[in-house]
């Protein structure tokens, strides 16, 4: 079982509290369904951000590499993005994100750059048990302003991610930017840019906390037009469909295996 699945089973969650803050920009939500296809076409003359979570990783602490599944997920994501002209590729400096970014950048003949602000708000360190890590993560979910001993608060991580896209916006007025980061960090950015009531959340059954589901190698697209942000799609996994196994059943009358 991968670390992300273990964490989900242990009620990995996002904050249940709304965090209000002053915004310098107007934000527009154009999609309210997670994992859905684009409802509005990406406009070429606007600046478009493709946020990609890294592929599935090994269930070890500190800085795990991608699993075989994670490598395949990254390959399919790279295949999907190869026909999109990218001006720049950024990545978290963690091994799993660099491995994912390396595959995405190869068809574009671009060198990706790393930014420490793209790291997850909290990492499973080798000197802590997994249960200790989960307990601390849940604290950052229950109180989005809670800052762990090592790491960032959920609100703080959202602000850091927001700083990155504002810096990119000052450099590029249009074009496509790929950013490879982590599930929690991408979710924190969405909660920083958009209103809680406009985002689709899941609820952890035991803790009752809300979180935004960002799956491995899913793509979340945000577009900026002047001073307005649009959420084009969230947690899109259509490009990973070749990895979905088709269930098989036995037809009791013919004794043949059929797809369902």
pLDDT single digits (tens) 27-53: 444 443 345 443 445 666 799 999 999
Buried b (16+ CB within 10 A) or exposed e, 157-184: bbbbbbebbeebbeeeeebbbbbbbbbb
SS3 5: helix
* Integer Cα distance of 168 and 170 in angstroms: 5
Please report the pLDDT score of residue 216 as a whole number.
Answer: 97
Which CATH code of 3.30.1490.190, 3.90.1660.10, 1.10.1660.10, 3.40.50.1240 fits the domain covering 3-241?
3.40.50.1240
pLDDT at 257 > cutoff 50: no
Please report the pLDDT score of residue 89 as a whole number.
Answer: 98
SS3 116: helix
Among 3-12, 85-94, 118-127, 136-145, the minimum mean pLDDT is found in: 3-12
* Integer Cα distance of 143 and 112 in angstroms: 34
Please report the pLDDT score of residue 16 as a whole number.
Answer: 34
Which helix (H) or strand (E) segment is 66 a member of?
none
Of the chain, the end-to-end C-alpha distance in Å amounts to: 26
pLDDT digits 0-9 by tens, 83-132: 999 999 999 999 999 999 999 999 999 999 999 999 999 998 878 888 99
Buried b (16+ CB within 10 A) or exposed e, 198-230: ebbbeebeebebbbbbbbbbbbbbbbbeeeebb
Entry pTM = 0.80
């Amino acid at each position: 079982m991968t670390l992300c699945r273990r964490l989900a089973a242990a009620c990995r969650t996002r904050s249940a509290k709304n965090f209000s803050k002053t915004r310098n920009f107007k934000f527009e939500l154009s999609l309210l369904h997670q994992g859905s296809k684009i409802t509005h076409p990406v406009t070429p003359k606007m600046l478009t951000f493709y946020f990609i979570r890294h592929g599935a990783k090994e269930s070890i602490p500190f800085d795990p590499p991608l699993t075989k599944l994670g490598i395949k997920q990254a390959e399919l994501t790279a295949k999907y993005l190869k026909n999109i002209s990218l001006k720049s590729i950024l990545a978290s400096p963690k091994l799993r994100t660099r491995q994912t970014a390396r595959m995405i950048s190869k068809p574009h003949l671009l060198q990706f750059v790393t930014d420490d602000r793209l790291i997850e708000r909290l990492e499973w360190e080798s000197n802590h048990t997994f249960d200790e890590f989960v307990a601390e993560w849940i604290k950052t979910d229950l109180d989005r302003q809670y800052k762990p001993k090592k790491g960032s608060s959920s609100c703080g991580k959202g602000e850091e991610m927001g700083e990155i896209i504002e810096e990119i916006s000052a450099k590029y007025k249009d074009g496509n930017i790929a950013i490879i980061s982590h599930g929690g960090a991408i979710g924190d950015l969405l909660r920083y840019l958009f209103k809680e009531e406009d985002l689709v959340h899941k609820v952890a059954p035991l803790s009752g906390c809300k979180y935004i589901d960002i799956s491995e190698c899913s793509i979340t697209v945000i577009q900026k037009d002047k001073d307005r942000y649009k959420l084009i799609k969230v947690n899109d996994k259509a490009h990973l469909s070749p990895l979905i196994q088709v269930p098989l059943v036995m037809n009791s009358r013919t004794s043949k295996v059929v797809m369902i």
